[in-house]
Copies of this chain bind each other. A is one copy, B any other.
Amino acid sequence: MSEFDLIARHFWRPTQGQSGVLLGNGDDCALLAPAPGMALAVSCDMLVAGRHFLPDVDPQALGHKALAVNLSDLAAMGARPLACTLALALPSVPDEAWLAGLARGLLALADAHGCALVGGDTTAGPLNLCLTVLGEVPPAHASRRSAAQPGDDVWVSGALGEARLGLALLRGELDLQGPGTEAAREHLLRPQPRVALGLALRGLVHAAVDVSDGLLADLGHILAAAGVAAQVDVDALLTHAVPPAVRALPPATALTYALAGGDDYELVFTADPAQREAVLAAARRAGTPVARIGRIVPGAPAAHPLADGAGRVQLVDGGGAPYTLPAGVRLAGFDHFATIEP
């Protein structure tokens, strides 16, 4: 079977009638028509076997996750998904069952978000997936990292550290059973991008980022881009934004996972305290839990927006006093040049 046949059989579906898509797969380019006045948001992520997923991962979970991590970037911008492209390098003899699973996982999530797969590329090579997503957002409502302001609340969605727990379980670093362990594996393998929350928060938030590399590292990107700092209330974080299965771990492990665990794909965002009720109402509408975990304070001038800003975070306790981390907490951000070993 040729590469064209493989793509056609598993990945192609009609895109006629899908919102914003004039021409889908099968030409030199796809053609999109964003609604008038909308900006087009673009993001791409590349996933490599042994780095971003374990080589024996369920292909359906991989298809889901490859798209989810990209939709998460749209969510952080407040953008509505329109379309995506998939470039895929596959071993020389493509395993059709594997490819079919990948397509099922990816397309199911794409359908759930109205995101049309409009093109891509397939080639032979070491396994590699590159997804590019396109969404639309009113330019004035796009939540830029640089927009955080001193006095803002810092909020986070969902369950931090849970995906890191899932990774520890898959790697066999921890041998746990019971409530929350299945949810942790699911969070790692099939993260749910916070698209609905991102849309509900349009106009209510200043800055937002998605948590792919760990809370401190990603909040740090906001802080570096905006030229501010933050106080994060560790007690509030552990109580309201970390699931019980992570809280039940030894303190150094729980804090490492909550502060530096990657792959959660939650949103961290900042908003004026006058918006507290509105933020909570928006989160309820989106069906996504959120927790207020700190506030933005003045900081050093803006640095390169991808500069390490984790050092701009001051950890405090519920009373506002500096929080003393127990020995053994490891806070380096997830580094994509470090290998994930199974």
Interface residues in chain A, defined as those with a beta carbon under 8 Å from any beta carbon in chain B: 2-4, 7-8, 22-23, 25-34, 36, 39-52, 73-74, 76-77, 79, 83, 85, 87-89, 92, 94, 118-126, 128, 130, 132, 134-135, 137, 139, 142, 144-146, 208-210, 225, 304-308, 335-337, 339
Contact = CB atoms under 8 A, between A and B. Distances in A.
A189 to B, nearest CB: 19
Number of copies: 2
Query: Closest 4 A-B residue pairs measured CB to CB?
Result: A48-B125, A26-B305, A130-B130, A29-B41
A76 to B, nearest CB: 4
A73 B120 CA distance: 12
Nearest to A198: B28
A79 B23 CA distance: 14
A231 to B, nearest CB: 23
A337 B92 contact: yes
A177 to B, nearest CB: 33
B46 A128 contact: yes
A13 to B, nearest CB: 12
Contacts of A142: 22-23, 29, 31
A111 to B, nearest CB: 19
A28 B125 contact: no
B39 A32 contact: yes
Contacts of A92: 337, 339
